[in-house]
Amino acid sequence: MTLGERIQKHRKELGITQSELAKKIDISHTQMARYEIKDVQPPANVLKKLADLFGTSIDYLVCGDADEKIMDSVQDASIIKEFKKIAELPIEEKNTLLKVISAYLRDYKAKQAYLS
């Protein structure tokens, strides 16, 4: 998700228009549209106003959160969803699943090396 998409998401969560958001942080509607649609980087003072209004951090607006970064780096979101479920399990079950996954990956790599 881009900075513009994060701004738009939070704006919509507040139930306000681009014009209303622009007024709240004292910029023009045109400039607000550039931030959202063209993903233009706002100056630090505007980022601060947006972060304060949205109840988040400048870092989150610019970079996203850890889950978002993971999702961006892993194309198969279903894997992330399953690992989140695994993270909620008791430690013994987590360790068992990690052993199974490690064994499967080891066997897969060995099979691929043999076929090459």
| pLDDT over 60 at 73, yes or no | no
Q: Please name which of 64, 68, 45, 66 lies closest in space to residue 7, comparing C-alpha atoms.
A: 64
One-letter amino acid for residue 78 of the chain: S
pLDDT digits (tens, 9 = 90+) for 9-22: 999 999 999 999 99
Alpha-carbon dihedral of residues 54, 52, 39, 32, nearest 10 degrees? 90
Percentage of the chain lying above the pLDDT 70 cut = 90
- The model carries a pTM of 0.58
Residues 6+ positions from 7 with CB-CB distance below 8 Å:
21, 35, 36, 50, 61
Q: For residue 72, is pLDDT > 60?
A: no
